[in-house]
Amino acid sequence: MSEIFDFDFFDYEEKRDQYVEQVEELLSSKQYAKLRDMLLPLEPADIALLLEEADEEYMPLLYRLLPKELAAEVFVELESDSQEMLINGFSNAELKEVLDELYLDDAVDIIEEMPASVVIRILDRVTPEMRKSMNEILQYPEDSAGSIMNMEFLSLKKDMTVADAFKRIRRIGGDMETINMLYVTDPQRKLLGVLSVRDLLLAEEDDLIEDLMDPNLVWATTMDDKEDVAQALSKYDFLAMPIVDKENRLVGIVTVDDAMDVIEEETTEDFEKMAAMLPSDKPYLRAGVFDTWKARLPWLMILMLSATFTGLILNHYESKLAACLVLNAYIPMLSGTGGNSGTQASVAVIRALSLDEVYFSDVLKVLWKELRVSFLCGLCLACANFAKMLLIDRMLLGNDEVTTSVCLVVCLTILFVVVFAKCVGCSLPILAEKIGLDPAVMASPFITTIVDATSLLIYFNFASSLLGI
Amino acid sequence: MSEIFDFDFFDYEEKRDQYVEQVEELLSSKQYAKLRDMLLPLEPADIALLLEEADEEYMPLLYRLLPKELAAEVFVELESDSQEMLINGFSNAELKEVLDELYLDDAVDIIEEMPASVVIRILDRVTPEMRKSMNEILQYPEDSAGSIMNMEFLSLKKDMTVADAFKRIRRIGGDMETINMLYVTDPQRKLLGVLSVRDLLLAEEDDLIEDLMDPNLVWATTMDDKEDVAQALSKYDFLAMPIVDKENRLVGIVTVDDAMDVIEEETTEDFEKMAAMLPSDKPYLRAGVFDTWKARLPWLMILMLSATFTGLILNHYESKLAACLVLNAYIPMLSGTGGNSGTQASVAVIRALSLDEVYFSDVLKVLWKELRVSFLCGLCLACANFAKMLLIDRMLLGNDEVTTSVCLVVCLTILFVVVFAKCVGCSLPILAEKIGLDPAVMASPFITTIVDATSLLIYFNFASSLLGI
């Protein structure tokens, strides 16, 4: 049995390192048979990891140790730059061997990441039918369900018996990625129903498919957003979602493992966007320094330049500030608290939007909720700060400039800033989604910049009226 | 066929609203047969949504319209407060009916959320065997694989033939949540291998299970973290992960749909923690105002009070600031840029950690990468800002205080702050994970507070030495 069986962080890391070491040892002593025996029992995803960890020159050697079928499974799990390197080293016969073993959707995933020269070489090697299907899938927009669907699925006719269905599964089931869900179609390939392989196994030999299938089914179209399809699959606990074309004909399925990959990818993108980065499709350590730099600089630049407004406001009130310099010490706290409050609301709403817990029609409900929450939070923070300013800043540190009026200015500002930040934070993402922008971009950094400027305006207005400066 | 078939945001929202309206109409005109016909073709998850949307008084009525089996499936999908309300309205016979239809893992999920009185009522109604199994699962720690596993799985013996296996599936497969993966065990219930139902279907009647099964398998233990198990399931593209106890006996499986729920939950928690909120287990709109307030106030309070340090630094340099008040206008920009830079690095690393792309042993690799990225970013930002200060602040706005030395102070600070922020941002989450803390807590708000204080120190030190104040 495989020894990689425990997923605790330390264990897995340790075992991985042991394996890497062992691979290096066996490689340098050229014990290839032993190496092969070591790799064979592992899962394809783990073999891929070991290949990636090995020196680049050894990767083709390691890869060639694997039997044909396993090799193809490992190939799918590799990063695209490793795949490209391997393909460049392949003879035409070797390339054809790998391609013959791949499922259509995996093959498409791979060529989507390859440079044109490699794509042409691949398309030259596949069977004409596969080339046709690949071209079809490649024509769907990048984020559509069509682009990730698998065109190899098992369909049945409604007048088949269970025995007929089993015969069909035995005949063509070996080429399918999954046979757990079976789809029933009419002669025009329109979807009529769905049944699981368990339904078949529990039925009698001469039962009709029509009587076993569930005619109430959920499907998605090729042009639906792949993230929505993945979320629906998760919500309904499906193993596969049938995909129909514009004429309502069944053309493919999206399987649960692909849906999980989509959700993982999109979640990573959300994290990146919310942290003011452009999304990148490479794992953190594999992205080069320049790639990372390119993904991070744009938003940093925009946000830095938009802080000019905050600077202008400070310049404008320079004389007032000079008159009561103690006010200055509280500006970072005010903008920090405002920013954090806004971030909380925006992140909560962005996540709720992406899980379909909140829709645009809920915008007033959301605002009303945030208004009450922010008032409560603001009140607590203002009171705590009032006490802290009097007890610590004035009494303990003996700063006489911290008068009760100054405390009042600061604390009133806190209350107003928190309420303002939370209301802006919760409504901007919803509005963004409504007008077709990505709500994740409306997260913390963007909202912080708005809140920063506004909190200064609120602050100086309270200062003017209460301190008469 | 179900009409809820398209997952585009607008469509789905519209259709949901139409359904809700229709339900209300049929309810008020007491057309219960029609209502039942409308609900029956829908997916359990959608029926649950409609029940939640209806008035509370109508929920039991709607629920009782459903046939027994569907009712149980819908029950599982409801929020826990709705479940509690329904249970409180159930007769003992009704309660038993629902419980008999539930899979063990779902039943455990439900009673974990119920108050003690309801738990006792439930445990009184289930069969003695189920009570025993429930107690067993309830003893596993909350975040363990044991707590989410399903104890109803299909195991085979290695000396069975394919025909024997089919017989066994026909006999007991109906009570299993899944039969897609079949596990082969020895008489001591130790795991020997795995095969899929497809392997069975494609084999000959008299083939031995031993020859068909894959003896290289991956498993997890009951005490493994459920998130790690879910990630492993996703990485290996499994439909189920076998779970063994301390004696290496197969005791349950974790299915892919439960793994997806775990990943969704944990991702939401990460988002919440990274936005300085305490994690809550209710969907956004269902959490009450006080719950939300309680989740948000603690970190806001801590971060607000820790901004005291920033205030102290500003107080300390008050005289220098008074001597060159123009410096003040750039503080928000500096702390904003520092905060954003730190957030980028920390979020990228936190995500990489949770996807197992980065381990503690990579800490130097990560630091070296961030050092180069941050130097590049800092340099670009510093240059852009230098140009902006000279062209806009000095020439366009005619602010004579913006001298070349002031520009130099600000821009050198930017460079150092960006480098510092990114290095802190990338290393704190890794260190946190190493000492057993949640890396997500080390995200933006926490890092922003550290970076804020440090950037002021850097700023004023440059100002002192370059401007001689």
Q: What is the DSSP string of B356-382?
A: TS--GGGHHHHHHHHHHHHHHHHHHHH
Among A7, A43, A297, whose Cβ lies nearest the Cβ of B220? A7
| Nearest residue to A263 via CA among A351, A360, A358, A138 | A351
- Measured from the Cβ of residue B448, the count of other Cβ atoms closer than 10 Å reads 30
The two structure tokens encoding residue A26: 């066996």
Q: What mean pLDDT value characterizes chain A?
A: 86
Residue A12 has what pLDDT?
66
Amino acid letter, A388: K
Write down the pLDDT at residue A11: 55
The pLDDT value given to residue A6: 45
Predicted confidence band at A434 (pLDDT cuts at 50, 70, 90)? confident
User: Does residue A150 sit in helix, strand or coil?
Assistant: strand
Report the residue from B179, B358, B393 with minimal CB separation from A284.
B358
**pLDDT value at position B304?**
86
DSSP B115-181: -HHHHHHHHHHS-HHHHHHHHHHHTS-TTBHHHH-BS---EE-TT-BHHHHHHHHHHHGGGSS--SE
The Cβ-side half-sphere exposure at A328, using a 13 Å CA radius, reads 31
Residue B1 predicted with pLDDT over 50: no
Hey, which residues does A250 pair with through a beta bridge? A244
- Percent of chain A that is helix, strand, coil (3-state, to 5): 70, 5, 25
Q: The pTM is what?
A: 0.82
Closest residue of chain A to B257, computed from CA coordinates? A237
For chain B, give the percent of residues with pLDDT over 70: 97
**For the segment A6-58, what is each residue's pLDDT rounded down to a tens digit?**
444 345 667 777 888 888 888 889 888 898 988 888 888 889 888 888 888 88
Mean pLDDT of chain B: 86
pLDDT at B6 over 70: no
- A176 pLDDT tier (thresholds 50, 70, 90): confident
Give the pLDDT confidence score for residue A366 in this predicted structure. Answer: 93
Q: What is the pLDDT of residues B338-348, one digit of tens each?
A: 988 998 899 89
SS3 A294: helix
Cβ–Cβ of B344/A276 closer than 8 Å? yes
Higher pLDDT, A458 or A285: A458
- A99-to-A13, A69, A89, A122, B105 alpha-carbon distances in Å: 32, 11, 15, 8, 41
Q: Per-residue pLDDT tens for A374-398? A: 999 999 999 999 999 999 888 888 8
Rounded alpha-carbon distances, angstroms, from residue A307 to A331, A457, B388: 14, 14, 12
Identify all chain A residues contacting B7, using CB atoms and an 8 Å cutoff. 220, 224-225, 228-229, 231-232
Instruction: Identify the residue with better confidence: B332 or B160.
Output: B160
Look at residue A4 and tell me whether its pLDDT is greater than 50: no
- Do A189 and A249 form a contact (C-beta atoms < 8 A)? yes
Residues of A in contact with B360 (CB under 8 A): 13
Give, in degrees to the nearest 5, the angle at Cα A202 between A196 and A204: 115
pLDDT in tens, A123-171: 888 888 888 888 888 888 888 998 888 888 889 999 999 999 999 998 8
Q: What is the pLDDT of residue A229?
A: 92
Model ipTM value: 0.81
What's the whole-number mean pLDDT along residues A69-79? 89
Q: Above pLDDT 90, what percent of chain A?
A: 26
pLDDT at A208 over 80: yes
Contact: B201, A170; criterion CB under 8 Å: yes
Q: What is the pLDDT of residue B413?
A: 95
Q: Mark yes or no for CB contact B444/A343 under 8 Å.
A: yes
pLDDT in tens, B46-85: 898 888 888 888 888 889 899 888 898 899 889 888 898 8
- Cβ contacts (< 8 Å) between A366 and chain B: which residues? 284-285
Q: How many CB pairs under 8 A join A and B?
A: 403
pLDDT band at A3 (very low <50, low <70, confident <90, very high): very low
Q: Please indicate whether residue B160 or residue A5 has the higher confidence score (pLDDT).
A: B160
Q: What is the pLDDT of residue A416?
A: 96
The mean pLDDT of A83-95, rounded to a whole number, is 87
Q: Is A205 exposed, middle or buried (0-12, 13-18, 19+ CB in 10 A)?
A: exposed
Q: How far is CA B28 from the centre of its chain?
A: 39
Q: How far apart are CA B176 and CA B346, in angstroms?
A: 43
Report d(CA B230, CA A257) in Å as an integer.
Answer: 12
Report the pLDDT value the prediction gives residue B9, as an integer from 0 to 100: 36
Sheet holding B191-196, edge to edge: B155-156, B181-185, B191-196
Minimum-distance CB partner of B277 among A296, A329, A344: A344
Spatial separation of the C-alpha atoms in residues B335 and B324, rounded to whole Å: 19
Residue A224 φ then ψ, to 5°: -65, 150
User: Is pLDDT above 50 for B89?
Assistant: yes
Query: What chain A residue is nearest to B369 in terms of C-alpha separation?
Result: A289
Describe the crossing of helices B289-306 and A331-354 by its angle, rounded to 10 degrees: 140
